Structure 1
Amino acid sequence: MNKPSVEVIAHYNLEGEIIPLRIRIGSDKVYSVDKPSKPVKGASLKIGIQGNRYSCFVDGKRAYLYLNHENKWFIELV
C-alpha cells in the first residue's frame, strides 16, 4: 500500500508541542494546515501508519497527519 509521505513545516513551542503549519506534497505544492487538533496516539488502517495523529483540514478537505516514531510525516485524506 502507498504511504504518502509529506514534508511538514511545524512550530515547536516551549511546552514541547508540535503544531503543523504547512505541508508540501510533491515538489511544488504547498498547502496550509488549518485547524490542527492536539495529537492523539492513533493508527490508520488505510495506509498502515501508527503514531501521533493530527486531525486537520488541508485545501478545504478533512485530513489526518501522522508523525511516526522515525519523525516522518504521512497524510491520509478522508
Structure 2
Amino acid sequence: MRYVTSIERLAKEEGIVENARESIITVLQTRFGEVPSPIVEVINKIEEPSVLKMLHKSAIAIPSTTEFQQVLDSLNSGK
C-alpha cells in the first residue's frame, strides 16, 4: 500500500469538500433557479464534510431557499 503524505490527504479532503459544496449549489439551482449569493457565500465557507452532507440532504428536500437560509442561520447560531 502506498504511503499517503499529509499534503496528499489534505488535498483529497479539500477535493471532497469542494465537490460537496458544488453539489449543494447545483441541487439548489436545479430546484429553485438562481441561488441567492448570501447562501452561496455561506456554503463556500463551510469546511466540515458532515455538515455539507446534511446540507445536501436538506437541499434535496427543503421547499424553498428561504427555508434553506434558515437552516444555514441555525448552523451559525449553534457555534
* Same fold? TM cut 0.5: no
Greater C-alpha radius of gyration: 2
Q: Name the structure, 1 or 2, with higher relative contact order (CA <8 Å, separation 6+).
A: 2
Q: Structure 2 length as normaliser, TM-score?
A: 0.29
Q: Which has the higher strand share?
A: 1
